[in-house]
Chains A and B, each alone.
Chain A
């Protein structure tokens, strides 16, 4: 099992575990505030916006062009923004801390 830590707007840390699926699916299954995943993970709604710590960006990987285009028009976007429906859970994410974006 891979441990994933979500940090919500109230600064609470939520320590979750999974070995498959996407970060969005894990967050929705655990009612993480601010992650809605309305479209079910096909990159059309931008309701699963998170910020990745700069030191973790390499192991998470780059956004695709379609995801980057969606992020361009999202609220509170930074260079660390990702839509977490597009991040698959694997061993290499062990212990990662992702911050739920506001808005």
Chain B
């Protein structure tokens, strides 16, 4: 899925004497083009995309699934397109109603488990064990913290043995792409081969994990095929990989730059819930998601041809100054925050309960244990979206972010 965006160029920082300043800043990359045009046309492998940039237009288009469909050929609603490198349909997000609703209904209860106390207790244990290992020494927030926590927490979501996370961690942060080519099919095969094994194992020896649930489940009166199960699992792995890694890394970068916000949440933990929403709005870990027009139509007053693509640019919409006061400031006490960081409409992020719970518990642990965060060298992950007349560079996270989490206990 689209967690692997445009070939990312490396902007580097990391002067040892002026480091942390700016590391927590994530600029509104689309500000100018949004206010001047409302959309931005980009090319993508000769299948152009009209990026929709304003919040209200994004929501309207996301709501209108009849005109802007997800059930196009597999990979086409992802930008950059994955049509050339995969045939597996990712489910349920590359489906339209009514099939979409049938798959969603099957999966919803499983993906709501993060609301249960026992699930949260597991995540709390995972988080504190990780903090034990990484605090008070310089580590890379991406590979030593975010990748590890994302992988370990995913074992709870899938209800598989904790040790599986070692395999996923060993894949590195770029499991679904190689460093030099974001559309490298060989990389995706690591995941596909792994999933084939897991599904076959679950068929032979069922357990209480997600694969076994899917092997025994029915949708519309029929057992799921191997490729349908695989399509669900590919989405779960890919959709929750870079997004969660960026969310966790960027949160550390932000608190490094703004220790007062960490202190505020320590004094007033009742704001952690709104802080989670605000950080997701500000970081917008997934820049956008595409749709295919089923008929000739228009967005923002501009023509959209039948069978052409648009994208719903969550990252731009989340900085729309017509809706958000001080859109480029993080206000963890923000009361009205109608962000689209988890998407909008029938396809809203299935993993949102897991992501919200993980970030909430992560912040809770940080305020309990971490006094301050100091930053060393880092390398930003900057997406480049090249339009006909505009090129937008968006910092979405980091390739590496060296930092030290200084514990409260160590200070005392």
Contacts and interface: CB of A to CB of B under 8 A. Distances in A.
Do A and B actually bind? yes
A42 B334 contact: yes
Interface in A46-91: 64, 66-67, 69-70, 73
A70 B63 CA distance: 11
Contacts of A70: 338
A39 interface: yes
A20 interface: no
A42 B323 CA distance: 13
30 contacts: A38-B356, A40-B273, A40-B274, A40-B277, A41-B273, A42-B274, A42-B277, A42-B334, A42-B335, A42-B336, A42-B337, A43-B336, A43-B338, A44-B337, A44-B338, A44-B339, A45-B342, A45-B348, A64-B336, A66-B323, A66-B336, A66-B338, A69-B56, A69-B59, A69-B323, A69-B338, A73-B59, A73-B63, A73-B344, A73-B345
For the residues of A in contact with B, the DSSP-based class is loop
Contacts of A66: 323, 336, 338
Contacts of B60: 73
Contacts of A67: 336
B72 interface: no
Interface in B328-377: 334-340, 342, 344-345, 348, 352-353, 356
Size category, A interface: 10 to 19
B276 interface: yes
Interface in B14-68: 56, 59-60, 63
Interface of A: 38-45, 64, 66-67, 69-70, 73
A103 to B, nearest CB: 11
Contacts of A40: 273-274, 276-277
B352 A43 contact: no
Nearest to B346: A75
A42 B239 CA distance: 24
A44 B277 contact: yes
Nearest to B112: A36
A7 to B, nearest CB: 23
Most buried by B among A38, A39, A73: A39
A43 B344 CA distance: 12
Nearest to A86: B336
Interface string B250-283: 0000000000000000000000011011000000
Contact of B337 (A38, A43, A69, A73): A43
